[in-house]
């Protein structure tokens, strides 16, 4: 499986699925979540409302799937990352679960390409370096069948540099 690191806007990625750093209610929020909701259009809000009604939303560490609607990506994987509380409330396991559950959904749906943001590193306050390490290690440990490329789409040059440095330390070319 190929791991690609890019600086850019996840909403313009032409992949099978992009991952949304969502909240438990799947309401369009700020950051990447708000950008994805705006770019995908009103039908995404309707799809999320249906998930809230049928499942009560999405718990932290889990993931659900919707169509991509107006996005170049055919699907959106919504995953709920943990809020950082100093690392004392199981945040690392919850964050790893976000990546693992998203990849599992990708495999279940035969996706070949998936793009991730830096989950939980914005308003949820997860330290970027620690979150990056968990993200890359979880992806490396994934037994890929259909997924051929995992793309990390970073919003800032600082985040891209952290991901590049960590990838190098883990032997990712």
H runs (alpha helix) in the chain: 31-40, 42-55, 91-108, 128-141, 157-169
CA separation for the pair 168, 166 (Å, rounded): 5
From the list 9, 16, 33, 133, the catalytic residue is 33
| Alpha-carbon span 90 to 1, nearest angstrom | 28
For residues 119 and 164, give the distance between their C-alpha atoms in angstroms, rounded to a whole number. 16
Q: Residues for the chain: how many in total? A: 173
45 assigned to active site: no
* Residues that are catalytic: 33
């Amino acid at each position: 499986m190929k791991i690609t690191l890019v600086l850019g806007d996840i909403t313009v990625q032409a992949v099978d699925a992009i991952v949304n750093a969502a909240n438990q209610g799947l309401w369009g929020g700020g950051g990447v979540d708000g950008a994805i909701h705006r770019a995908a259009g009103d039908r995404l809000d309707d799809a999320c409302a249906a998930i809230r009604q049928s499942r009560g939303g999405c718990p932290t560490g889990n993931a659900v799937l919707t169509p991509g609607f107006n996005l170049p990506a055919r699907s959106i994987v919504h995953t709920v990352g943990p809020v950082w509380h100093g690392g004392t409330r199981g945040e690392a396991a919850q964050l790893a679960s976000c990546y693992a559950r998203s990849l599992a959904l990708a495999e279940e749906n035969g996706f070949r390409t998936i793009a991730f943001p830096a989950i939980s590193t914005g308003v949820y306050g997860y330290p970027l370096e620690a979150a990056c390490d968990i993200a890359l290690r979880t992806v490396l440990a994934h037994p890929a069948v259909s997924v051929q490329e995992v793309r990390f789409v970073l919003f800032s040059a600082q985040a891209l540099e952290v991901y590049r440095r960590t990838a190098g330390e883990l032997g990712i070319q």
